[in-house]
Chains A and B, each alone.
Chain A
Amino acid sequence: MQAQHSGTPLLRTAPPWRAGVGLKPEHIPEILETHPDVGFFEIHAENYMGAGGAPHRNLAMIRERYPLSLHGVGLSIGSEGPLDREHLGRLRTLNTKYDPELFSEHLAWSTHDQIYVNDLLPVAYNVDTLVRVCDHIDEVQETVGRKMLLENPSTYVAFEQSSMTETAFLKEVVRRTGCGLLLDVNNVYVSCINHDRQPEHYLQDFPIEAVGEVHLGGHAPDMDQAERPLLIDAHDREVDAEVWRLYEQILRKIGPIPTLVEWDNDVPAWGVLLAEAERATGLLKLAAQPDMTYAV
Chain B
Amino acid sequence: MRSEPKLSPNGAFSAALLDAEQSIPTGIVGPDGAPDSKRFNVYRNNVIVSLVEALAHTFPAVQQLVGEEYFAALARSFVIENPPKSPVLIWYGREFGAYLDAFPPLSAYPYLGDVARLEWGWLQSFHSADACPLDPARLASVSPNLVGEVRFEIHPACRMIASIWPVLSLVQANRFGGVCSKPINLDNPEAVLVTRPDIKVQLSCLPNGAVTFFNALTNGKTFSDAAALASFDDSRFELEATLGLFLGQGVFTDLRVVAGSNEHGKAIANTGEVGCLP
Contacts and interface: CB of A to CB of B under 8 A. Distances in A.
A46 B88 contact: yes
B129 A112 contact: no
A161 B26 CA distance: 10
B151 to A, nearest CB: 23
A95 interface: no
Contacts of B39: 156-157, 194, 224-225, 230
B262 to A, nearest CB: 36
B202 to A, nearest CB: 13
Interface in A174-190: none
Contacts of B11: 80, 112-113
Interface in A11-63: 46-47, 49-57
Contact of B199 (A54, A114, A158, A159): A54
Interface stretch (A118-126, A163-171, A271-279): A118-126
Contact of B50 (A55, A109, A118): A118
A294 interface: no
Interface stretch (A68-76, A208-216, A246-254): A68-76
Interface in B22-67: 26-34, 36-40, 42-43, 46-47, 50-51, 54
A169 to B, nearest CB: 15
Given A114-B85, A117-B18, A124-B9, A53 B128 contact: yes
A49 B43 contact: no
A75 B86 CA distance: 10
Interface in A66-114: 73-76, 78-80, 84, 87, 90, 109-114
B53 to A, nearest CB: 9
A61 to B, nearest CB: 12
B196 A115 contact: no
A51 B128 contact: yes
Contacts of A76: 87
B84 A118 contact: yes
Interface size class of B (residues with CB under 8 A): 35 or more
A55 B28 CA distance: 40
B100 interface: no
A78 to B, nearest CB: 8
A109 B13 CA distance: 11
B87 A46 contact: yes
A78 B10 CA distance: 9
Contact of B10 (A50, A109, A118, A195): A109
Interface residues of A, number: 51
Contact of A73 (B30, B37, B43, B87): B87
A46 B26 CA distance: 32
Contact of B87 (A74, A222, A225): A74
Contacts of B112: none
A65 interface: no
B38 A224 contact: yes
Contact of A157 (B28, B47, B84): B28
Nearest to A52: B130
A149 to B, nearest CB: 19
B236 interface: no
Contact of B17 (A80, A117, A194, A224): A117
A115 B84 contact: yes
A90 B27 CA distance: 35
Contact of A116 (B30, B32, B42, B86): B86
Contacts of A78: 10
B28 A118 contact: no
B28 A159 contact: yes
B22 to A, nearest CB: 14
B42 A230 contact: yes
A52 B129 contact: yes
Contact of B36 (A87, A161, A225, A232): A225
B51 A118 contact: yes
Contacts of B46: 118-119
B43 A156 contact: yes
Contacts of A75: 87
A196 interface: yes
Contacts of A245: none
B7 to A, nearest CB: 10
Lowest 3 A-B CB distances belong to which pairs? A74-B87, A50-B127, A51-B129
Interface of A: 46-47, 49-57, 73-76, 78-80, 84, 87, 90, 109-119, 121, 124, 156-161, 194-196, 222-226, 228, 230, 232
19 contacts: A49-B90, A50-B90, A53-B130, A53-B196, A76-B87, A78-B10, A80-B10, A87-B88, A90-B88, A112-B10, A116-B86, A118-B84, A121-B14, A121-B43, A158-B28, A160-B29, A161-B27, A196-B31, A228-B30
Given A51-B130, A119-B43, 15 more contacts: A50-B127, A51-B156, A53-B126, A79-B10, A80-B11, A117-B47, A118-B50, A118-B84, A157-B43, A159-B28, A160-B29, A194-B31, A225-B30, A225-B39, A228-B31
